[in-house]
Structure 1
Amino acid sequence: MTDFLTTPGFLGTKATLRSDLTLVLILITAVMFNIGFILARRKQFNAHRWVQTTAVIINTLVVVFSMVTSYIIHILPGIPAKLGEGDYAVTTLHALIGTIGLIFGVFVMLRGNKLVPKSLRFNNYKLFMRWAYALYMLSTLGGITIYIIVFIFGI
């Protein structure tokens, strides 16, 4: 049923359709996170919450249904033996940063929507949101780098 995802992508690289869609969706969520950041700076907190929540949901779906699967199939079988090789090391570091950012970002989003128990709530939104944003952007840059290395340079 998902065989079409392994067909050649649409960005003119060596990537599959799945990889191209993943990249585009992650770039869209990165733009959304930046828009949400701007909305918060303008004190448009309700719009900020909706944009960030939507971006977190899209990002989580992409990570769970595309990136985790790809990592398990292509990278995990080579761990730990090939961890010293560039693509395995870079991809694993990206996965680690991305996982931390995803978990932290989902928690911040749930907190912002008052969906966590009172004992887990925090009041210093700026600190937590900025860390979640920074981790997300760092992971996004890592993902773009991996896409370029693998599908453009073919390393």
Structure 2
Amino acid sequence: MLSRLRCGSLDAGCRLPGCRGGRADLGGSRDEARVATRALMLEWLKQPGFYGTHATLGADLSQTMATLFTVLFVIGWTQAKGHKGHAHHWLVLSGMVAMLAFFTSYYLFRQLGVLAFEGKAGFGGSQDLYDHVFIPLLTMHITLVVIGLVMAIYMIVLGFRTQTFLDGRRLLRSGLLKTPWKKMGTIFGVITGVVLLLFVSRVATSGFSARKLLVYLGLLGLVGIVFAIEMAIQRVWPDGERRHRALGRFTMIIYCILFVTGSVTYTMLYILYPGKIG
């Protein structure tokens, strides 16, 4: 399908940047190539979905992956309760990394929550239903997405910090687990320096844009939130094992609620009350 889109977009008039005379300008800049690729991906994600609803391909893909990740995390949760440390560690770690990679890439292309700023055109129900049910539900869903992404990063780090090995078994290490402010500040400073270097290199190769700045500031903000959570929570649960179990349970509950709110949002948008925006 993507190949057909490429042919249709680049040959039939080729209105994308970097195209001349109905053909792609192979000598165009890398920035133009990235813009063209992004446009193709956006066009691909807007194609009709595969579930037979009014959803786009992007929406169906997102819902499918959300379902898959939820199932994986529930399985990982049961493994943890069954004291299957190795299986739990690798399943949840790989699931969280894959989830972060997929949804970060997807949001960069399609921008999750865009319907919240598009007005009622994307929702086919009544204005009252839109104002008092759909928007609060979507707002709750987006808020939980942010919390879920923060907790995914935090739990990955916490999992490595609290693990220990005994007779070939992976276990949680009980005992005091605290990070001093000075060490936390040093780590954050190093991460900030790396992010700034990446930002400067991007600006040097493809020019400055407010969008790039917001992305990198958002990344630093996310890291800062994770660190702030760590400093606050380690006072409540100084024991590493108890902290991991309590926050793991909280994170799994968040992901289950996310699946419910996402599924209800999908049903309202693309099955019960489809609108004009895919």
Q: TM-score, normalised by structure 1?
A: 0.84
1:91 to 138, 153, 160: 138
2:160 to 96, 113, 133: 113
Does residue 38 of structure 1 match 2:78?
yes
Change (3 A) 1:67 1:142: farther
Aligned-partner Cα distance in 1 for 2:143–2:269? 19
Change (3 A) 1:142 1:62: farther
Aligned-partner Cα distance in 1 for 2:80–2:245? 10
Change (3 A) 1:28 1:90: same
Shift, 1:38, TM fit: 1.7
- Structural mapping, 1:14-53, within 5 Å: 14-53=54-93
CA contact (8 A) 1:26 1:62 kept: no
Q: TM-score, normalised by structure 2?
A: 0.49
Does residue 70 of structure 1 match 2:189?
no
Report the count of equivalent residues: 150
Change (3 A) 1:145 1:62: farther
Q: Which has the higher strand share?
A: 2
Shift, 1:76, TM fit: 3.4
Cα deviations across residues 29-88 of structure 1 (Å, max 9, x unaligned)?
Answer: 0110011112112211111011111221222233323357131x321355xxxx945322
1:123 to 232, 241, 264: 241
Does residue 13 of structure 1 match 2:37?
no
Decide which moves more: 11-20 or 98-107.
98-107
Aligned-partner Cα distance in 2 for 1:150–1:24? 16
Q: Which residue of 1 aligns with 2:265?
A: 146
Q: Percent identity?
A: 21
- Residue segments in structure 1 that go unaligned for 5+ positions in a row: none
Aligned-partner Cα distance in 2 for 1:44–1:16? 39
Partner AA of 2:53 in structure 1: T
CA contact (8 A) 1:102 1:136 kept: no
Please give the secondary structure, in 2, of the residue aligned with 1:123: helix
Aligned-partner Cα distance in 1 for 2:81–2:134? 38
Aligned-partner Cα distance in 2 for 1:131–1:51? 18
Decide which moves more: 55-64 or 28-37.
55-64
Aligned-partner Cα distance in 2 for 1:111–1:138? 22
Change (3 A) 1:70 1:105: closer
Q: Which residue of 2 aligns with 1:135?
A: 254
Shift, 1:144, TM fit: 0.6
Aligned-partner Cα distance in 1 for 2:45–2:264? 21
RMSD: 2.4
